């Protein structure tokens, strides 16, 4: 904890932090370091600049979802780096690949795939906050609006780590968690919709 900034996903190649704003949705951003260069992904507000600069040379800010502006522009300006918005065509001079999730007028999203060390970063497609889950015990959920047609291309990857734009990431049996979430997304949608109503009745 640094001030009001809650740190998550601490690894040898980066860290994540959760904005103190909108605690229920746990807006989470990440700093990824490769060869001494630091890339920010969907960064929310947070007291993290000193830690970012200590991690390495800032290289760029990557925004994976069109509506995930968050503090991306502010970080890019302050750090003097480019702001890459929903880079379907990729980011030059980065170690990342980008997998299309949705390319529609009102929802444009890509997922970041880092082949080494096998890291998948998702903005809204996958998450670990309660409104993503249909059953207790799930470790990773598909966004409710994507459950009727889940982004199955993500299931072709074999991540060791999944980082999310909402909530802490998954760092154990991550490939299994992704594939289970995608495989059950549509089937569990009715329960996801009904459970809040049942909870209200029990109060």
What pLDDT score does 135 carry? Answer: 60
DSSP code, position 152: G
pLDDT category at 198 given cuts 50, 70, 90 is very low
Report the pLDDT averaged over residues 9-35.
90
pLDDT > 50? residue 63: yes
Helix, coil or strand: residue 169: coil
For the record, the structure tokens of 135 come out as 């059953």
Distance CA 102, CA 178 (A): 17
**CA 11 to chain centroid:** 15
pLDDT over 60 (residue 194): no
Per-residue model confidence (pLDDT) at position 8 = 97
End-to-end CA distance of the chain: 34
Domain boundaries 6-202, CATH class: alpha beta
Contact 98, 86 (CB under 8 A): no
Question: Which helix or strand (DSSP H or E) is residue 119 part of?
Answer: strand 119-122
Give pLDDT tens digits for 77-133: 999 999 999 999 999 999 999 999 999 999 999 999 999 999 999 999 999 998 887
Radius of gyration of the chain measured on its C-alpha atoms: 17
Task: Report how far residue 79's alpha carbon sits from residue 200's, in angstroms, rounded to the nearest whole number.
Answer: 46
* CA neighbor of 44 nearest in space, from 25, 58, 55, 147: 25
Per DSSP bridges, beta strands 97-104 and 28-34 are unpaired
Compute the distance between CA of residue 176 and CA of residue 97 in angstroms, rounded to an integer: 21
Per-residue confidence band for 21, with pLDDT thresholds at 50, 70 and 90? confident
């Amino acid at each position: 904890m640094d001030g009001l900034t809650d740190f998550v996903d601490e690894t040898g190649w980066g860290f994540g932090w959760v904005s103190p704003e909108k605690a229920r949705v746990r807006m989470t951003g990440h700093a990824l370091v490769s060869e001494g260069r630091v890339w920010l992904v969907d960064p929310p507000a947070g007291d993290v600049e000193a830690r970012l600069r200590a991690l390495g040379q800032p290289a760029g800010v990557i925004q994976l979802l069109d509506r995930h502006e968050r503090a991306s522009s502010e970080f890019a300006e302050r750090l003097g780096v480019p702001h890459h918005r929903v880079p379907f065509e990729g980011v030059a001079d980065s170690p990342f690949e980008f997998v299309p999730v949705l390319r529609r007028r009102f929802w444009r999203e890509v997922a970041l795939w880092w082949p080494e060390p096998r890291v998948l970063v998702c903005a809204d497609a996958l998450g670990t906050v309660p409104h993503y889950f249909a059953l207790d015990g799930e470790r990773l959920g598909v966004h409710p609006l994507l459950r009727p047609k889940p982004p199955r291309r993500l299931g072709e990857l074999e991540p060791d780590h999944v980082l999310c734009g909402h909530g802490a990431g998954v760092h154990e049996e991550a490939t299994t968690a992704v594939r289970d979430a995608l495989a059950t997304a549509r089937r569990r949608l009715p329960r996801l919709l009904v459970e809040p109503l049942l909870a209200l009745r029990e109060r």
